[in-house]
Homo-oligomer: A and B are copies of this chain.
Amino acid sequence: MSSTLPAIPGYSYGQPDVPFSPLSLTELEQLKQAVLWTSEDEKYLRQAGAVLADQVDAILDLWYGFVAAHPHLLRYFADHQGQPIPQYLEAVRRRFGQWILDTCLRPHDQDWLNYQYEIGLRHHRTRKNRTDQVTTSATAVVPLRYLVAFIVPITVTIRDFLARKGHSADEVDKMYHAWFKAVTLQVALWCQPYVFPGDY
């Protein structure tokens, strides 16, 4: 995939050290039905990827600005003195940019499903701070309620960026909703490590 940036530290998509998702591909298909997923969404998500590709830094600036403006969110990137850890913020940022492209462009196969599990583990106390060897982080876990709540800012802020390349209002709306579904689907997958297996 030409838009994959080379050598992002800690970005292990498709690598053998990514654990196997406890969810099956059949269960993934059923979950996709629950978010009303259609082949049209796939098409418009790919279009969104083309629209967003050269705006990734601007999107991340907006998202990071939002987090930085709220101490109760920034604390998940902060040390015990409450100071944000620049190397941690920067390391996550590079993978976050790649995540935007992956969300739009990667097929929903076993590698994709496994990596959603990995992302969940990296927010959960199982693996938070480990990918970037952050030893000074004050927080051991990103609370699940924020994972779910972030569906909103990660979704609604993307619409303006989707509208900047001259597409019709209808096309922007379709890209926007494909993005909304894709984000919600992923957050539902990221929740797995937080929940008793029988309740997930």
* Contact residues, A85-134 vs B (CB, 8 A): 124-125
Main secondary structure of the interface of A (DSSP, over half): helix
* Contact residues, A174-188 vs B (CB, 8 A): 177, 180-181, 184-185, 187-188
Beyond A152-B184, A185-B149, is A144–B195 a contact (Cβ under 8 Å)?
Answer: yes
A30 part of interface (Cβ distance < 8 Å): yes
Q: How many of these chains are in the complex?
A: 2
Beyond A144-B191, A189-B145, A192-B145, is A34–B152 a contact (Cβ under 8 Å)?
Answer: yes
How many residues from A make CB contacts under 8 Å with B?
41
A82 to chain B, nearest CB (A): 15
Measured CB to CB, the nearest residue on chain B to A187 is: B148
Closest 8 CB pairs of A and B: A34-B149, A148-B188, A35-B152, A145-B188, A30-B72, A149-B188, A194-B195, A194-B199
